[in-house]
Amino acid sequence: MPEYKVPMRDTQFVLYELLKGEAHYEKLGASDATRDMIDAILTEGAKFCEQVLSPLHQAGDQGCTFKDGEVTTPPGFKEAYAQYVEGGWPSLSASEEFGGQGLPESIATVFSEFVSTANWSWGMYPGLSHGAKHTIDKFGTDEQKETYLTKLISGEWTGTMCLTEPHCGSDLGILKSKAEPNEDGSYAITGTKIFISAGEHDMAENIVHIVLARLPDAPEGTKGISLFIVPKFLPDGTRNVTCGSIEHKMGIHGNSTAVLNFDASKGFLIGPPNKGLNCMFTFMNLARLGSAMQGVAAAEQSFQGALTYAKDRLAMRSLSGPKAPDKPADPIIVHPDVRRMLMTQKAIAEGGRAMIYYCSMLGDTIHRSQDEAEIKQAEDLLSLLTPIAKAFLTETGYEATNLGMQVFGGHGYIAEWGMEQIVRDTRIATIYEGTTGIQSLDLLGRKVLMSQGELLRNFTKIIHKFCQAEADNADMKEFAEPLAARNKEWGDVTMQIGMKAMQDREEVGAASVDYLMYSGYITLAYFWASMAKTALAALAAGTSEQDFYKAKLATAKFYFQRILPRAEGHKGAMLNGAETLMALDPEHFAFL
Amino acid sequence: MPEYKVPMRDTQFVLYELLKGEAHYEKLGASDATRDMIDAILTEGAKFCEQVLSPLHQAGDQGCTFKDGEVTTPPGFKEAYAQYVEGGWPSLSASEEFGGQGLPESIATVFSEFVSTANWSWGMYPGLSHGAKHTIDKFGTDEQKETYLTKLISGEWTGTMCLTEPHCGSDLGILKSKAEPNEDGSYAITGTKIFISAGEHDMAENIVHIVLARLPDAPEGTKGISLFIVPKFLPDGTRNVTCGSIEHKMGIHGNSTAVLNFDASKGFLIGPPNKGLNCMFTFMNLARLGSAMQGVAAAEQSFQGALTYAKDRLAMRSLSGPKAPDKPADPIIVHPDVRRMLMTQKAIAEGGRAMIYYCSMLGDTIHRSQDEAEIKQAEDLLSLLTPIAKAFLTETGYEATNLGMQVFGGHGYIAEWGMEQIVRDTRIATIYEGTTGIQSLDLLGRKVLMSQGELLRNFTKIIHKFCQAEADNADMKEFAEPLAARNKEWGDVTMQIGMKAMQDREEVGAASVDYLMYSGYITLAYFWASMAKTALAALAAGTSEQDFYKAKLATAKFYFQRILPRAEGHKGAMLNGAETLMALDPEHFAFL
């Protein structure tokens, strides 16, 4: 199993040098968030992730056990959670009013990357609490906050979001769970919810479920869904929600995926009736960034494993002459194709890290800025970048895990090396929290086209200015020129698709996934060009860390030369339109 | 679990209409192989695969058990194998001299596709015998043939190829197993072999291992490897080879992957000393096509599952208006992106089928033709196409399995639906029998560049002639024009890479995998253009099967419009060369 080391130097590069985190926090009035403070927190957090969570990762693959309605998590999970609560980690960025430490969300995001990479399945237990916390923080009554939020922030309780039912996942409009009013003002919730991650476990005293259900008089479709707080145990200790079973699944075995049965379970309305989906959308972006993180975390974890192996494993001689003449063969890292795989993983992990931290800092601005124009700009940008980050980083993160396994050859397929577990664990990331298809419709349909391209122009303007500013910088030419060209093209092809979509609405869905991937490659190019600029500046200033910045620059070059060309394939496919997709009658897909 | 139905109509389309199998078999003097005869065999074979093997597939995922050196295969596997032997299936294409039925190899290949799709893990047990059969058939003494070949052909015994050792897989030059002469002319084989598929099981009385080992005076490297027949049980019943354990792996759990211990095990030299690798190369192409089949089989199986689900599962309304207004939502097959996924699977499965059957018929020609020029031409073509088929079809086949899972959304991740098992089972296909990286070096380095481009020109000439012949056919324009352009470009970019490789040998490895994928997309475009031509001809002739041929034509259009553009991305990446891959010192890949 690859031993996880927190990439602290790279984290600092992104946080302080690329994204100028110190100035960002100061501007937002987060005066506690000094570099010394942040470094101290992250160093402590790194220890916990490396020493406590990472060693539990592989054994966690043995899975949870379900017996008589109770779930037992893998050995060590519960104890690690106690340490996590003890260390105050759940409350890092929570509001001080309810016991939190009040740090900016983006600092918690950095820590959550460490947790995610060390042990994704474990990290889902506290991670799933976010949705419940946000819902109660934003829409709860004072009493609901007092009862539930403080416990969620301290970590004594965990939370879930209960959306999916057996017959509906992406299409929540057809959900059936019912909420009947009780005499005491509460509601009796009845229905079955499936795929509830962290829905039942033994790590905390209580679980606060936020459940989507319909009031008796609710309109049909998405406009008739309300939110309810439904605790596993009521204040008097009564069991209120039961777990019917947990799923046997491809990966993330350490996390329980529960079937929850609500049988007139007592629930409490939160937020306005029938506005449940609207309420959820207010923090959907942040939840989706949480899933995007799985792609980055998986790429990093798999990269670390593959790199160690590639330096160690001997096979064949380098085509340009032996590199380890004293050994029976050269380490496989000498071979160009092994390097191609490693560099691809590295470019995804480091580039994705930059993308997610950037998004997370937009979140800080949204929550803390006093400047409405600045908030609007951050909201618009985050709104555009979220589906890109979620779908593109989980798709490429999954690719990275497959490459890491491939570096190991046959050994990659064997469980004991731990590389195939990363592939299995990561495969869900392109599905939950909105599939790649759903994210792509969100990006192209809802965000780009419904805003008449405005949300896209917000971002392409930033890229345009960046490229213009670097136009006279000879060292940046290899990045700024192709980026500027792609950036202009992005607008052009969007226009073309938009025109076609006015004739035929199927063109949106037909182009969507290729459009998202195309957009992702350009977005990541922007981050890599920015990182190249930062690295060049450090080198020009005579940094003592020559190797670090040169490696960063080399990775940027790799990305532009060897990865960005993929955009061309997606462009070609998406511009070829819907016709060949829509041609066949469903009965003519196969003649069996 | 998706229920497998043999795609008989498509099989017949490829075998008889596209590849003109009847004329092919007649020309080779295989007078038994009439269409009636073949259809009867395939119908019988389809029954066995649908009714016996397919129902065992999902339960097979529970895996083999290992106890006290013995492997027990999953329930039903042994009984199915007995039926298989009883039915005479192992001997379909084997030579009549040793009890075979003497049919052309390509007919056995078609049947093996059915087996592979119904139950890949099961199919590996008889499938692995091929290597042993070929080795003994070609290099064995009369006595060895009498003793081993007849039993392998009847299926009473199975066989393996024992290549890999713990420290070496791709690089057989460094293998260590030793063969010391015994006084009786046999050899004492000592060493450990790992990853031996079907290396130990309870399905047959005996297992004939073909083992690579070194004679005492052998030269170092690949020129000092000899082949030995090492049976699990010696004729007197003595246990001669022991199984140390079986691997816990990501998938193909129904097939045992054995660690075999040779402890002065009695072995018999087969073929000339120190020429073991050369001997193996004579049938390596066919073995690799066997693995290529896994990609096609997996794509087909996953496609069938996803198609059924997509017609059944309801979610959202079609963007162009409700398609099932009487239901709460439309079946997801109305959505363009779901169709994109299904069509991609279909294009890979049907296109890959054509590619493999074509290769397999080249094998028929090599084995049966009397015309030396024809044999040479077939050998050269097969030599070029084999690494493409192996790597491209397993990479795209794996993609297809991931798409099939994606169609299921969250349910795809759950074991009971069977879709994730296909992904796990298929992941090994890009690794064993030579990884994608190894195939790519074989294609670009050994086949294309070492032949000064001649092996490539052999094939591009065929494509060129095809496009020329269709130049005046307006209906074929949308296929012939882009294919002709890509075909010319294929030669041009090969030249460019060849020139660079003369300056720097690392350029070969740096371009190789992108070059292979690029070549694969063009090769598949040729087969799809050919299928379009065949379909157009049938439609022009007023076929009664309008829907079938129109669907074939629609899939060809889809391939050209939505899949072939990917070639552009690979071209861009490979032409950008080795520099960014080779830049980093191994110690500078990460700063942890």
Instruction: Count the alpha carbons within 13 Å of A341 in the hemisphere toward its beta carbon.
Output: 31
Q: Best mutation site among B259, B311, B584, B585 for testing chain A: the one with the most A CBs within 10 Å?
A: B584
Instruction: Count the alpha carbons within 13 Å of A131 in the hemisphere toward its beta carbon.
Output: 34
What are the beta bridge partners of residue A267? A187
Do the chains contact at A581 and B336, CB–CB below 8 Å? yes
- A-contacting residues in B 177-196 (Cβ below 8 Å): 194-195
Torsion sign, CA atoms B139, B140, B145, B149: negative
What pLDDT sits at residue B31?
Answer: 86
Q: Decide if B92 contacts B107 (C-beta within 8 A).
A: yes
Query: Which residues does chain B have within 8 Å of residue A582's beta carbon, measured at their own beta carbons?
Result: 336, 339
Gap between the Cα atoms of A71 and A213, Å rounded: 25
- B-contacting residues in A 542-571 (Cβ below 8 Å): 547-548, 550-551, 554, 557-558, 561-563, 565-571
Residue B154 lies in a domain: no
- Same domain (yes/no): B530, B406: no
What is the tens place of the pLDDT at every residue in A560-587?
999 999 999 999 999 999 999 999 999 9
- Same domain (yes/no): A358, A456: no
* Residues of B marked as catalytic: 433
Is residue A358 predicted with pLDDT exceeding 80?
Answer: yes
ipTM of the complex: 0.97
Domain boundary among A418, A433, A448: A433
Residue A5 lies in a domain: no
Do the chains contact at A565 and B573, CB–CB below 8 Å? yes
Alpha helix (H) residue ranges in A442-577: 454-469, 477-503, 506-540, 546-558, 566-575
- A-contacting residues in B 4-23 (Cβ below 8 Å): 5-10
Q: Decide if A99 contacts A106 (C-beta within 8 A).
A: no
Per-residue pLDDT band for A508 (boundaries 50, 70, 90) equals very high
Residue B98 lies in a domain: no
What percent of chain A lies above the pLDDT cut of 90?
96
Q: Which of A166-170, A402-406, A530-534 comes out lowest in average pLDDT?
A: A166-170
Residue B256 lies in a domain: no
- The whole-model pTM stands at 0.98
- Same domain (yes/no): A464, A391: no
Do the chains contact at A583 and B558, CB–CB below 8 Å? yes
Say whether residue B223 is in contact with chain A using an 8 A CB cutoff. Answer: no
Say whether residue A342 is in contact with chain B using an 8 A CB cutoff. Answer: yes
Is residue A169 predicted with pLDDT exceeding 90?
Answer: no
What is the tens place of the pLDDT at every residue in B132-166?
999 999 999 999 999 999 999 999 999 999 999 99
Residue B132 lies in a domain: no
H or E element that contains B70:
strand B70-72
- Same domain (yes/no): B425, B283: yes
Domain boundary among A385, A401, A433: A433
Selecting from A329, A402, A573 the residue whose C-beta is nearest the C-beta of B562 gives: A573
Is residue B2 predicted with pLDDT exceeding 80?
Answer: no
Is residue B429 predicted with pLDDT exceeding 70?
Answer: yes
Mean pLDDT (whole number) for A217-234:
96
- Same domain (yes/no): B403, B287: yes
From the candidates A105, A113, A350, A433, which is the catalytic residue? A433
Do the chains contact at A509 and B319, CB–CB below 8 Å? yes
Residue A400 lies in a domain: yes
Mean pLDDT (whole number) for A355-362:
98
Gap between the Cα atoms of B367 and B553, Å rounded: 34
Q: Decide if B155 contacts B204 (C-beta within 8 A).
A: yes
Residue B401's closest chain A neighbor by CA?
A: A427
Indicate the number of domains in chain B: 2
- Same domain (yes/no): A314, A336: yes
Per-residue pLDDT band for A284 (boundaries 50, 70, 90) equals confident
Q: Could you give the 3-state DSSP secondary structure of residue B473?
A: coil
For residue B302, the tally of other CB atoms under 10 A from its CB is 32
Residue A338's closest chain B neighbor by CA?
A: B437
Gap between the Cα atoms of B307 and B285, Å rounded: 33
- Same domain (yes/no): A429, A480: no
Do the chains contact at B427 and A409, CB–CB below 8 Å? no
Gap between the Cα atoms of A338 and A307, Å rounded: 10
- Same domain (yes/no): A302, A351: yes
Say whether residue B437 is in contact with chain A using an 8 A CB cutoff. Answer: yes
Domain boundary among B433, B463, B479: B433
Do the chains contact at B563 and A573, CB–CB below 8 Å? yes
Per-residue pLDDT band for A1 (boundaries 50, 70, 90) equals low
Torsion angle of C-alpha atoms A565, A566, A571, A574, degrees rounded to 10 = 170
What is the tens place of the pLDDT at every residue in B262-284?
999 999 999 999 999 999 887 77
Say whether residue B517 is in contact with chain A using an 8 A CB cutoff. Answer: no
- Same domain (yes/no): B401, B486: no
The two three-digit tokens of residue B206, written as one number? 């005996």
Q: Decide if B527 contacts B559 (C-beta within 8 A).
A: no
Gap between the Cα atoms of B149 and B136, Å rounded: 7
Mean pLDDT (whole number) for B242-256:
98
Is residue B324 predicted with pLDDT exceeding 70?
Answer: yes
DSSP conformation class of A13:
I
Do the chains contact at B319 and A508, CB–CB below 8 Å? yes
Per-residue pLDDT band for B1 (boundaries 50, 70, 90) equals low
Compute CA distances B156 → A67, B122, B267, whole Å: 45, 16, 20
Q: Decide if B178 contacts B225 (C-beta within 8 A).
A: no
Say whether residue B221 is in contact with chain A using an 8 A CB cutoff. Answer: no
Do the chains contact at B573 and A582, CB–CB below 8 Å? no
Most confident of A160-169, A313-322, B484-493: B484-493
∠ at Cα A403 (A399, A404), nearest 5°?
120
The two three-digit tokens of residue A514, written as one number? 């290729």
Distance from CA of A554 to the nearest CA of B (A): 7
Residues whose CB falls within 8 Å of the CB of residue B318, separated by 6 or more in sequence, listed in order:
A506, B330, B334, B335
- Same domain (yes/no): B409, B461: no
Per-residue pLDDT band for A108 (boundaries 50, 70, 90) equals very high
Is residue A409 predicted with pLDDT exceeding 70?
Answer: yes
Is residue B76 predicted with pLDDT exceeding 80?
Answer: yes
- Same domain (yes/no): A566, A502: yes
Residues whose CB falls within 8 Å of the CB of residue A371, separated by 6 or more in sequence, listed in order:
none
Query: b/e string for B219-256 if b means 16 or more Cβ within 10 A?
Result: eeeeebbbbbbbbbeeeeeeebbebebbbebbbbbbbb
**Angular region, B453: left φ>0, alpha ψ -120 to 50, beta rest:** left
Q: B495: burial class by Cβ within 10 Å (0-12, 13-18, 19+)?
A: exposed
Q: Best mutation site among A333, A419, A591 for testing chain B: the one with the most B CBs within 10 Å?
A: A591
What pLDDT sits at residue A319?
Answer: 87
Distance from CA of B337 to the nearest CA of A (A): 6
Per-residue pLDDT band for A286 (boundaries 50, 70, 90) equals confident
Is residue B120 predicted with pLDDT exceeding 70?
Answer: yes
User: What spatial distance separates the first Cα and last Cα of chain B, rounded to whole Å?
Assistant: 44
- Same domain (yes/no): B468, B399: no
Distance from CA of A546 to the nearest CA of B (A): 11
Do the chains contact at A428 and B409, CB–CB below 8 Å? no
Do the chains contact at A435 and B333, CB–CB below 8 Å? no
Mean per-residue pLDDT of chain B? 96
Compute CA distances B188 → B132, B140, B192, whole Å: 19, 19, 13
Per-residue pLDDT band for B430 (boundaries 50, 70, 90) equals very high
Mean per-residue pLDDT of chain A? 96
Residue B127 lies in a domain: no
User: What is the extent of the structural domain holding B522?
Assistant: 440-581
Residue A252's closest chain B neighbor by CA?
A: B413
Do the chains contact at A424 and B250, CB–CB below 8 Å? yes
Residue B302 lies in a domain: yes
Residue B320's closest chain A neighbor by CA?
A: A505
Gap between the Cα atoms of B209 and B241, Å rounded: 9
Compute CA distances A299 → A108, A186, B145, B252, whole Å: 20, 45, 51, 25
- CATH classification of the domain holding A417: 1.20.140.10
Query: Which residues does chain A have within 8 Å of residue B336's beta carbon, measured at their own beta carbons?
Result: 506, 508-510, 512, 578, 581-582
